[in-house]
Structure 1
Amino acid sequence: MTSKKVSHYILLISVHGLIRGRDLELGRDADTGGQTKYVVDLARALAYQPSVGRVDLATRLVDDPEVGADYREALEPLDKSAQIVRIPAGPEGYIKKEELWDYLDIFADNLLEWLRQQTRMPDVIHSHYADAGYVGVRLSLLTGIPLVHTGHSLGRDKLGRLLAMGLSSDLIEQRYHISKRISAEEDVLANAELVVTSTRNEIAEQYELYDYYQPERMVVIPPGTDLEQFHPPENKVKIAFGKSLETFLNNPKKPMILALSRPDERKNIVSLVHAYGESPELQKLANLVIVAGNRDDIREMDEGAQAVLTEILLLVDYYDLYGHIAIPKHHKQEDVPDIYRLAALSKGVFVNPALTEPFGLTLLEAAACGLPLVATENGGPVDIIGACHNGILVDPLDSSAIANALLEILSSPKKWEKFSEKGLKNVRKRYSWNTHAQKYLETIQPLLEHHPEFPKVARVRGDLSYRDRAVFSDIDQSLLGSAEGLKAFAAYLAENRKKVFFGVATGRRLDSAMAILKRNGLPVPDVLITSLGTEIVYSPQMTPDSAWARHIDYHWNSKAIRRIIGELPGLTLQPKSEQSRFKISYHYDAEQAPTVEEIQTLLRQEEQAVNVYISFGQFFDIVPVRASKGLALRYFAQQWNLPLERILVAGGSGADEDMMQGNTLAVVVANRHREELSGLREPERIYFAAQPFALGIIEAIEHYDF
């Protein structure tokens, strides 16, 4: 990679789909669409800016014989100082984004470990889509690096549309894990310094649905298009793709109505076929060409694509459109610019009839090749056609409106020329990647200047430096509860003191934790993570970690939180002995109090980014957003250079969940509250013990051969 005088380092994260620097398999499936192209183009565009020294695009490593070998390469250079970094997480094989949620903590841990091995940390993290947002929040909370986010599409908007289609809430949850996605999006909005959107519509109508809605933190920066790749056709140049259409069409020289998208119900191609089939005049004027991904056998495609393509074929037969419509089975990504140019040469029109279109990158590509547009009035096309004045917006559910708009352009050579020329001119002026990158860097400049990474503190290690693994446990209902188990655990610690750190991670304050451990005859831990991850203390001098305290103080406003929560029924403050500087604790009466989700919503609406926990069904705690048992544990591991794979964590309630996810080895001990952790699914790293309390920890030590 080449070096530059100014060296801003930007980390882009896009977890799902198949991402590589060449021959992008757009349309292969629902996960490999416009977003994959967007992030690759963005990485390249940023790397060409003089002030940027390095751009890494982090995605998931896939080692699967069903996909190309490129996706198993850990590093892939792009251009200039940009590269793709592939991080392993979960199964080696390719899995769809809805199944990735259980592995995102592992992805975050592995990515952070990779970053620690680099010569410097990024200046900014930019996550793309909800899954990457989840990862970005974790990294930002741990490192203090500012987070920028682009949603691409949003879960609350999708949920509304799926419900409107008649799908049940249970089916939506089962198929899309929509609650996890929306929760991740809420956390992103609470923690991102900046949200980059493609259109004003996203801000006004989609993000407005979220609790932590702060439009002042949002900026519209439309994506660009590659003007070297997408350009008008040259005279007398034969386009090879035209041959593949000749077998479908009686008169291939007629103008082409072109639709290019995934065979996805939301893309609404079926309505376009209805519009064409119901208009003999349109059939006389033009051919309909639908480029909808690649297929060998429709029966082997996923359920959604299969349903769309089957419906299209049934409509072709119903309207007897044979000879008027082409639905080619295959195309390569490098064919796409030529497909647009072929349509432009025919004096055709590009149409996007999607139910809603978050942005509409294909509209820019088509316009850059000289095609007039007909597009949905829902979403990004409003901004694009509004800025370029090169087409007509339509109601995607009104097939006659679609047909009339197409007829208006196709039957008027003057209008066609006007729209074509305006599109060419305005796309070049407003939607180049260079323009996007320049505005992006101008917008994030304050983040690059004012967010240093929190300091590392040098530790006096003494004999602790010989320890190469650690056991951390919660105290109540995890470590305590069985005299036999405590005796066995104490013997394990005594036998392994020279090589094993002993730590506790508890909701108790330091004084309370020390007292109960002493009362039960346990040795003083080497590390105490107390008050739900808000305090880290090292023995034997009981030295508090002041750097951690400074780090978690970020945006913490205890007075505002007490004011917001104070009037709610079913919540009463616990005694002062249970409160601390960074922990507000309540007794929780489930019969009177709002649900935890409702309280979290209220706090978000009041712009309080915090972590909330319910433990043992009766204790409700609020801590800073940068504090949790899991985050504190990872901070400790970083400070002592201890791999997470060598840390065994034990817990038994919901407050322990985030320290059990990711690369740690975990055990859920048997107790009456373990159901709070029943959603954890990672059989190689999360073990559900048959034995209760400390006996369960001993069982896990044997299970993992720790």
Structure 2
Amino acid sequence: METEGTALRGRQETGELHPMYILMLSLHGLIRGHDLELGRDADTGGQTKYVVDLARALGERADVSRVDLVTRRVVDPAVSPDYAEAVEPLNAKARILRLDAGPEGYLPKEQLWDHLDGFVDNLTALLHEQGQWPDIIHSHYADAGYVGSRLANLIGVPLVHTGHSLGRDKRQRLLAAGLDSDQIDARYNMLRRIDAEETTLATAELVITSTHNEIEEQYGLYDYYLPERMRVIPPGTDLKQFHPPADDDPLPPFAEVVERFLDEPDKPLILALSRADHRKNIIALVEAYAESPRLRALANLLIVAGNRDDIRDLDEGARTVLTDILITIDAHDLYGQVALPKHHSADEVPEIYRLVARSGGVFINPALTEPFGLTLLEAAATGLPLVATENGGPVDIIGNCKNGLLVDPLDRTAIAEALLKILEDRETWTTYSQNGLAGVRRFYSWTSHAERYRALIGPLTELHEHIPDTPPMRRAMVYRDRALFTDLDQSLLGDPEGVEQFVAMMKRNKRCANFGIVTGRRLDSVLIELKRHGIPVPDVLITSLGTEIHYSGQLVLDDYWADHVDHLWSPRAVRRALAEIPGLVPQRKIEQSRFKISYHYDPTIAPSVEEISTLLRTRELSVNVIHAFGQFLDIVPIRASKGQAVRYVTHRFGIPLEHVLVVGGSGADEDMMRGNTLAVVVANRHHEELSQLADLDRIYFAEQAHAKGILEAIDHYDFFRSCRVPDPIPQPVAEPEPEAPA
């Protein structure tokens, strides 16, 4: 008789794999399945098209059961209502899911960071509700990497990551452009981005890049650099949409838009198509064109740089670029030779390429650096020869396809000469055109991308086990619909009268609420303190900074959680790495545990916490480094933290995080308090590491200290009744003072 296990082994031996559920994350920008608004802003560009096309291609495969592309839901009158729809099908097995995160309106990616924990919690709740965990999580860019890392470490699913662009590389370029570190961090939230990228690289089991240059030159800047986990899979091109012009094709309507700019519209066109971003280096192209009489005599210049109604209404970066282009056109009297259309749709882009190909023109990407260069593939698929920057992805594309020339984007003479070499020699033009058509089909189709992708992610799932759904505790605990978790020292303890009142409050409400302690102490130490202060053993004890979980008075160990956090844990390697670090002194054995290595930390002689984290990353150690009270440093597994443990427990209880009140005050508590939980910092801890969270709506800073501060928060949130964040108190509007008589 065949059992489930033997059937599975049989399928594995014959190479038959179960269809896979893939969860893709791409948070920022405006994502929909049609009429992509590419170039609308800096966040809606190549990544947007990449993730939609990849989701569709994977959804066409028989060995993929489902693809969910999850992004942020946007309800904003300034954008299409499409972005407010919770679900949008892409094909029979792929769809876009949109989840709330922070305010409803559209936000640039730099302003999303404080809302990502809420996004994680909303996504986890959705997955729990649908009753199916994904087989793979694939995050795109740093913000999604943060979300993907948190989710993967919580539910035990492999993480795949694609960076698209990287913070350390961008930071270097911005420093070279003259910005200082403080400006960069303030404008781009760069420190949070880079920290998220490091954590993502420590978590991800596979990093997919578009080029070898990306691995060597960009990921090589990171502490957690493991090239053996990185694979190049170039993006694909939709060959149904991007194809050469046919002889009998009518001119597209966009031709009329271009012709009205030009005195001699029959000349070949030089096309640059990108966002109006200084990094795209369009101004250097205009200057190269202006400074070459031969080029001006031979061809017209077509610049498609996003959409605009009024340049003055654009963001500062786009406004500056377009203004500089217009000034340069005027300075060199390029009127009648340069077309700069105000509008185009995503559906017109293939027609624009074909219009340029029909004219015998060239596509150019003069960017200072180009992580990949999707537009190069689109142009090549329509038969256009290429001129492109020698920095980044174009090196691989032109190297594979042999369909153009690479140039130094800072050398205007070289740009002009490369364009002339192709435009003045019809044989060269034809060779590059034909090579590009063949090369794109061979190297850059979405079908081949999806096949390679599926082959790489298949083995990742074999050693992973999802978190369980069934609770291991008394059934009475399961039916409680809310929970309170508090840190012990300096939060619950410190005021005996307050402790007595708190214990009485929890006893009165034990039918509806679970009670838990979340602490850095070991279990034996916690039990001693509870007995000393007359506190009954709670329903849940999360100890040693979230690395151990015990339930009820029987102190049942959650051995699944222990196995879960043991993933990639190498305590001996951690101790060796930190053995000779000045200012780090191991704490007593009673403070250590299986999954927690604890040190006294002297900031006057020890390296910074960031430097210690860097050291551990460069040793390829996947850990969380937790600094608390200014004097303690703890190292725990990457899957362990107070916040992750609380989310795991409440998931097993079936309690929504919106009905969970957490109490903390040190840096070790931050991830427990961010997101959808209700949180409180008691008065005696306002000055500590969490003071920077004071502006978050779901974190209450109590006026009273210790346990009485917790009771104050229970009242503030109406925790045992409505259990919600109270509405803000309307501020009175001051009456205008009457004007003095003249």
Cα distance between partner residues in 2 of 1:119 and 1:603: 37
Does structure 1 conserve the Cα–Cα contact (< 8 Å) formed by 2:136 and 2:157? Answer: yes
1:493 positional shift: 1.2
Partner of 1:49: 61
* CA 304–26 in structure 1, closer or farther in 2 if over 3 Å, else same: same
Q: TM-score, normalised by structure 2?
A: 0.93
After TM superposition, list the pairs within 5 Å mapping 1:240-279 onto structure 2: 240-279=253-292
* Equivalent in 14, 20, 29 of residue 32 of structure 2: 20
* CA 603–99 in structure 1, closer or farther in 2 if over 3 Å, else same: same
Q: Secondary structure at the match of 1:687?
A: strand
Amino acid at match of 1:513: V
Unaligned runs of 5+ in 1: none
Q: Does 2:674 match 1:661?
A: yes
Cα distance between partner residues in 1 of 2:283 and 2:501: 67
Cα distance between partner residues in 2 of 1:678 and 1:252: 63
CA offset digits 1:35-85 (Å, max 9, x no partner): 000000000111111211111101111111111111111111101210011
Cα distance between partner residues in 2 of 1:550 and 1:123: 19
Amino acid at match of 1:602: L
Partner of 1:145: 157
1:194 positional shift: 0.2
Does structure 1 conserve the Cα–Cα contact (< 8 Å) formed by 2:482 and 2:514? Answer: yes
1:175 positional shift: 0.7
Cα distance between partner residues in 2 of 1:457 and 1:550: 16
* Equivalent in 567, 584, 609 of residue 554 of structure 1: 567
Q: TM-score, normalised by structure 1?
A: 0.98
User: Number of paired residues?
Assistant: 703
Partner of 2:734: none
Q: Does 2:232 match 1:220?
A: yes
Partner of 1:126: 138
Amino acid at match of 1:536: I
Partner of 1:645: 658
1:705 positional shift: 1.3
Q: Secondary structure at the match of 2:462?
A: helix
Q: Which moved further from structure 2: 687-696 or 25-34? A: 687-696
Partner of 1:64: 76
Does structure 1 conserve the Cα–Cα contact (< 8 Å) formed by 2:478 and 2:654? Answer: no
Amino acid at match of 1:281: R
1:457 positional shift: 4.8
Partner of 2:725: none
Cα distance between partner residues in 1 of 2:31 and 2:458: 28
Q: Secondary structure at the match of 2:21?
A: strand
Amino acid at match of 1:250: D
1:452 positional shift: 3.0
Amino acid at match of 2:76: D
* Equivalent in 125, 134, 139 of residue 113 of structure 1: 125
After TM superposition, list the pairs within 5 Å mapping 1:285-684 onto structure 2: 285-672=298-685, 674-680=687-693, 683-684=696-697
Cα distance between partner residues in 2 of 1:156 and 1:176: 12
Cα distance between partner residues in 2 of 1:462 and 1:420: 70
Q: Secondary structure at the match of 2:545?
A: coil
Cα distance between partner residues in 1 of 2:258 and 2:501: 75
Cα distance between partner residues in 1 of 2:377 and 2:540: 56
Q: Does 2:160 match 1:135?
A: no
Does structure 1 conserve the Cα–Cα contact (< 8 Å) formed by 2:483 and 2:661? Answer: yes
1:476 positional shift: 1.2
Does structure 2 conserve the Cα–Cα contact (< 8 Å) formed by 1:42 and 1:437? Answer: yes
Does structure 2 conserve the Cα–Cα contact (< 8 Å) formed by 1:653 and 1:673? Answer: no
1:258 positional shift: 0.2
Partner of 1:192: 204
Unaligned runs of 5+ in 2: 1-15, 720-742
1:456 positional shift: 4.4
Q: Secondary structure at the match of 1:639?
A: helix
Q: Percent identity?
A: 64
Does structure 2 conserve the Cα–Cα contact (< 8 Å) formed by 1:15 and 1:60? Answer: yes
1:117 positional shift: 1.9
Q: Which moved further from structure 2: 695-704 or 69-78? A: 695-704
1:618 positional shift: 0.8
Q: Secondary structure at the match of 1:613?
A: strand
Does structure 2 conserve the Cα–Cα contact (< 8 Å) formed by 1:533 and 1:632? Answer: yes
Cα distance between partner residues in 2 of 1:702 and 1:415: 78
1:6 positional shift: 4.4
Q: Secondary structure at the match of 1:471?
A: strand
Q: Secondary structure at the match of 2:538?
A: coil
Does structure 1 conserve the Cα–Cα contact (< 8 Å) formed by 2:629 and 2:688? Answer: no
Q: Secondary structure at the match of 1:71?
A: helix
Cα distance between partner residues in 1 of 2:479 and 2:135: 34
Does structure 2 conserve the Cα–Cα contact (< 8 Å) formed by 1:456 and 1:547? Answer: no
Cα distance between partner residues in 2 of 1:455 and 1:479: 31
Cα distance between partner residues in 2 of 1:8 and 1:75: 20
Amino acid at match of 2:173: R
Cα distance between partner residues in 2 of 1:21 and 1:496: 49
Cα distance between partner residues in 2 of 1:292 and 1:688: 47
Amino acid at match of 2:403: N
After TM superposition, list the pairs within 5 Å mapping 1:137-216 onto structure 2: 137-216=149-228
1:477 positional shift: 1.6
Cα distance between partner residues in 1 of 2:564 and 2:651: 14
Amino acid at match of 1:258: L
